[in-house]
Structure 1
């Protein structure tokens, strides 16, 4: 019991001093400003993109995530607007079989509601064990990561924003590209 109390005391002393010293660290965006992990996925559903010298925009999602599906038209539009500067990759946190089944379910629901289904129109891969997602410190989806051409994470978060602030917009992407593009 004494060892446990000693360990907990030391742990809290170290973590509290760390968080006080590093006020800029954002627990919701643990990779911001850091080198991005290698782009290792379980399976490519499209051809593997050439990301050399480009911004990489990762969209972690799942067919069971309503907010993820809802943001797809925006990501498709961004992919078209920024196709010269950035490579967009949707990474499903499920297996290919589960993804295919989920897409059919979404199509069915959209048809029943007389709504338009919007498929992903950019590169796609799977990460069913959430290994890459975990390396980014992901806790919930949707989660988008923007990586500059040097491999540094420049944006991380929910593309819808939190509490009406911090959403991923065309303006945000444009500003990141302008600030961090190779010259």
Structure 2
């Protein structure tokens, strides 16, 4: 019985790893979005932190203040891009107070970017180099200034 359980566990773990669309050090999928909140796009040529977000996810909403703070401290080197699958009307009131400086909001109405990055939980963040390589990924609430600084 233990062997069967172990075999099933290993099989499910390897299938999950095989479906992962983003790997550290590898090229990331292109960000494909329909529009930007207030038509504010990130500064090209910089490292950026993509954060996949939904307004009904309490952890995602709670992460906005942390993202805003990271944006303020690293604004000259990092773009913070919050990616949502909701309409501007549905989410604008929640994210607009945080969308300042280099924190921008992208609307992925079709979910293409969510699918390309294989988002499994929210919030989910990926730090992407200016050359398009994944430097870090995980829950953005766990992204510290030290981790961010060491990847720049």
TM-score category (smaller protein):
0.7 to 0.9
C-alpha contact (below 8 Å) 1:28/1:157 kept by paired residues: no
Return the structure number with greater relative CO, CA threshold 8 A, min gap 6.
2
Number of the residue aligned with 1:124: 105
Number of the residue aligned with 1:49: 42
1:150 aligns with 2:143: no
C-alpha contact (below 8 Å) 2:47/2:127 kept by paired residues: yes
Return the alpha-carbon distance in structure 1 between the equivalents of residues 47 and 106 of structure 2: 17
**After superposition, what is the alpha-carbon deviation per residue over 1:38-93, rounded to whole angstroms, capped at 9, x for unaligned?**
121121113222321x1011111111111011111110010011111111111112
Number of the residue aligned with 1:95: 87
User: 3-state SS of the aligned residue for 2:24?
Assistant: coil
Report which of the two structures shows the higher radius of gyration computed on alpha carbons: 1
C-alpha contact (below 8 Å) 1:94/1:129 kept by paired residues: no
Question: What displacement does 1:142 show?
Answer: 0.2
Structure 1 unmatched runs, 5+: 1-11, 20-24, 108-117, 161-166, 178-183
Aligned residues: 137
1:170 aligns with 2:139: no
